[in-house]
Amino acid sequence: MSTQRSVGGRRGRGAESGGSTEGTTRRGFLTALGGAGAAGVAAGVSGCVGSMGGAAGADRSDDNGSDGGRSGGRPISVLAAGSLQLAFSEGLRAAVDRPVQVEAHGSVTVARLVAEGKRHPDVVALADTALFDRVLATEWHAEFATNALVVAHTDSDAGRRVAEADRWFDPVVGGAASLGRTDPDLDPLGYRTLFALDLASEYYDRPGLRDALVEPRQVYPETSLLSRFETGDLDAAVVYRSMAEDRGYDYVDLPAAIDLSEPDRADAYGAVSYDLPSGETVRGAPIEYGATARRGGDPVTDTFDTLVAGEYLGDHGFVVPDEFPEYSGDVPRVHCP
Amino acid sequence: MSRVSTARERSPWGAIAALLGGLLLALYAAPVAWLALAQPPSAVLASLDAPFVVGAARNTLVSASISTALATLFGVPLAYWLARARFRGRTLVTAVVAFPLVLPPVVSGMILLSAVGAEGLGGLLGVRISGTIAGVVLAQTFVASPFVVLTARSAFESVDTDAEEAARTLGASEWGTFRRVTLPLAWRGILAGITLAFARAAGEFGATLMLAYYPRTLPVQIWATFQGRGLDAAFPVAVVLLAVASGALVLLNVLGEASPVVSE
């Protein structure tokens, strides 16, 4: 597995807001303009495109802004997707010289907790950037890493069959190994698994492959899937590569055409979709992790910049493509390249 | 033809009770024994080496002790009142006490978070409860205190009111009667409730997760370790929880048995 690293640091794009970041003045110069500390919550948060209006709304759910900005030794709180937990609590913590508190839940839960004002973290990091618009309604975010789907297998006979087969799915289709997956209605991993299986039908030119692999009784909530897999109740499971790395699973890599790992294949991935019970339709897309900072001030900004630079992510099975971190939206000037 | 059985005759009940009880005991003991045996002592010791596990163990002991104390301080009077007062809404009050037992802990946590969080009481008073040790204590007290109330209520109800009346007739005050007659007679039942509450508080996960992921208690730490590294890494931390909680429970019972309430 090749791990690309961002060499030149930030090359953000601020694309979606329609503003070009070229020609904007550099960061240090503008920190003053953000008035770090002075404006409390909104400190240092102003759009690259110069929209101060956007800045005010950037942290609307934190009314009192009690501890924004002035954080003498206060830990930086990071609310993150479960798959990022170990990378953040080990890698990021080691890379940042101030205390970092990492709290991890499923990405959808994280987004909801923040949107509903139940948590007020300094930084939010999610496994699906669509959630920033769909649930959180943040002004901006930075994409900082990609992940891939892999087929983890146990060390049992059946598990090894999956590893040794020419095509990993043959033992599953033939009933020689059981394949577990997570509930598509509960977490992105669940519907992404279905995307991968749909794409696999196409890729291997085997119409009906997805239906042959999808056994309704082998759908579990994520925690349950991993416990079952680890105790040998399931022979194989579709999981993120980062999970497999962190937990020391053996796994089979999938072709890039189906593993949802490459941002460049976004169009091809987008050919498949899943209808959530809410009536929403999610489309296939590359697995991209995004983060946003909800407060200004140097401690948060520095931590955020280290987080999205992603030097520590390679050890945990993530990939940081050269063009990352990639900023979208009304990006605060302090984060602008 | 009926006859009165004597004490010497062996009734099958003794054997059946032992068998049924033994089966249930095996159900409790087997997974715990497996957990303790399958974990190499070195792995458990290694997990103790991690400062976050020690911190979580300390947080668990401190918060569970405070919540148990609060549950006792407020729960015993409520139990006494429920046992002695005669009023129409009594069943309803008992049902309210049972709410935390019926609600899934995660749901309790969500409700508490809404009630005392930034948009509830905490926001009004300008106090932050979520993410503090107070949040942990609140979650644990909410979930664990019904054990004190319900168990102590049964204990008070089983105290013969004639004994209380006799004490009053002999000139003891209401408080004196409670202190010297009712409480000692009900003490074992109350102690059982306190023990249950402590055990429940130490193992509290769902409500704590919602209300206070930090400061971490052992149950939350086990979850976090599982999420990051899987079952094999989480089990040693679970052994630590078992050891810490069992030790505290034994101590609680020794202290409770030796308390002046009974020895008087």
User: What is the DSSP code string of A246-260?
Assistant: HHT-EEEEPPTTTS-
Question: How far away is chain B from the Cα of A30, in angstroms, using its nearest Cα?
Answer: 32
Three-state SS at A237 = strand
pLDDT at A79: 95
- From the number of C-beta atoms within 10 Å of its C-beta (0-12, 13-18, 19+), residue A50 rates as middle
pLDDT tens profile B235-259? 999 999 999 999 999 999 998 888 7
The CATH number of B44-263 is which of 3.30.1490.440, 3.40.1170.60, 1.10.3720.10, 3.40.50.150? 1.10.3720.10
**Could you tell me the fold of the domain covering A27-147+287-335?**
D-Maltodextrin-Binding Protein; domain 2 (3.40.190)
Distance CA(A37)–CA(A69), nearest Å, equals 5
The residue among A228, A220, A242, A336 whose CA lies nearest residue A288 is A242
CA distance B84 to chain A (A): 41
Query: Judging by beta carbons within 10 Å of its beta carbon (0-12, 13-18, 19+), is residue A260 exposed, middle or buried?
Result: buried
Is A120's CB within 8 Å of B114's CB?
no
> Looking at the predicted structure, is the pLDDT value of residue B262 above 50?
yes
What does the DSSP 8-state code read for residue A319?
B
Residue A46 confidence (pLDDT):
37
Of the candidates B242, B50, B205, the one whose C-alpha atom is nearest the C-alpha of residue A223 is B205
Contact A96, A43 (CB under 8 A): no
Q: What's residue A279's pLDDT?
A: 87
Q: What percent of chain B has pLDDT over 90?
A: 62
Give the phi and the psi of residue A13 in degrees, each rounded to 5. Answer: -125, -20
Cα B103 from chain centroid (whole Å) = 16
- Residue B180 DSSP one-character state: I
Whether a cis peptide bond, with omega within 30° of 0, leads into A99 is no
ipTM over 0.95: no
CA B264 centroid distance within chain:
26
Q: How many whole angstroms separate alpha carbon B39 and alpha carbon B46? A: 11
Which 8-state DSSP code applies to residue A161? H
SS3 A98: coil
pLDDT tens, B198-232? 999 999 999 999 888 889 999 999 998 888 888 88
Cis peptide, bond prior to residue B184, ω within 30 of zero: no
Q: Is B121 on the interface with A (CB under 8 A)?
A: no
Token code pair at residue B76: 């015993």
Instruction: State how far the Cα of B69 lies from the Cα of B85, in Å rounded to an integer.
Output: 24
Q: Which of A67, A40, A77, A80 is nearest to A56 (CA)?
A: A40
Q: Which residue has the tokens 């008073």?
A: B125
Give the pLDDT score at B4: 57
- The DSSP result for B187-215, as a single string, is HHHHHHHHHHHHHHHHT--HHHHHH-SSS
Which residues share a beta bridge with A288? A146
* Neighboring chain B residues of A93 at a CB cutoff of 8 Å: none
C-alpha Rg value of chain B to the nearest Å = 22
Q: At what angle do helices B51-84 and B218-229 cross, to 10 degrees?
A: 140
Using the predicted structure, report yes or no on whether residue B88 has a pLDDT greater than 60: yes
Instruction: Return d(Cα A8, Cα A311) in angstroms, integer.
Output: 12
Which residue, A66, A62, A75, A71, is CA-closest to A114?
A62
Q: What is the pLDDT of residue A185?
A: 82
Q: Where in chain A is the domain with CATH 3.40.190.10?
A: 27-147+287-335, 149-282
Interface test with B, best of A76, A85, A118 (most B CBs within 10 A): A118
| CB < 8 Å to B118, chain A | 62-64, 117, 120
B227 touches chain A (CB under 8 A): yes
Strand, helix or coil for residue A71: coil
A118: closest CA of chain B, how far (Å): 7
Distance from CA of A249 to the nearest CA of B (A): 10
Residue A149 tokens read as 């789907």
A 10 A CB-CB count for A298 gives: 15
Residue tagged 């004002």 (tokens): A117
pTM of the model: 0.76
- CB within 8 A of B176, min separation 6: which ones? B167
Type and span of the H or E element at A143: strand A140-146
pLDDT block averages, 10 residues each, chain A of length 337: 37 36 38 38 41 35 37 81 91 92 89 89 92 88 95 92 90 89 84 93 90 82 84 91 92 95 94 89 93 91 93 92 90 77
Q: Using an 8 Å CB-CB cutoff, list chain B residues near A223.
A: 226-227
Specify the CATH class of A149-282 in words.
alpha beta
Instruction: Give the rounded distance of the alpha carbon of A204 from its chain centre.
Output: 28
Domain-by-domain residue ranges, chain B? 44-263
pLDDT in tens, B5-53: 555 566 788 899 999 999 999 999 998 888 888 888 888 888 887 888 9
Q: Which stretches within chain A are classed as H helix?
A: 27-34, 52-57, 85-86, 93-95, 107-115, 130-131, 157-164, 170-173, 188-203, 209-213, 222-230, 241-247, 266-269, 298-309
In this complex, the residue of B118, B224, B232 whose CB is nearest that of residue A120 is: B118
Structure tokens at A213: 């692999």
Contact A197, A213 (CB under 8 A): yes
What is the predicted pLDDT for the residue at B257?
Answer: 86
Instruction: Count the Cβ atoms, other than its own, within 10 Å of residue A294.
Output: 24
* CA pair distance A86, A336, nearest whole angstrom: 28
Contacts of A181 (CB under 8 A, 6+ apart): A189, A190, A193, A194, A214, A218, A219, A220, A225, A237, A238
Question: What's the Cα-to-Cα distance from A206 to each of A211, A214, A246, rounded to whole Å?
Answer: 11, 14, 32
Q: Which residue of chain B comes nearest to A79, CA vs CA?
A: B213
Provide CB contacts within 8 A for A229, sequence distance 6+.
A152, A154, A180, A236, A237, A239, A249
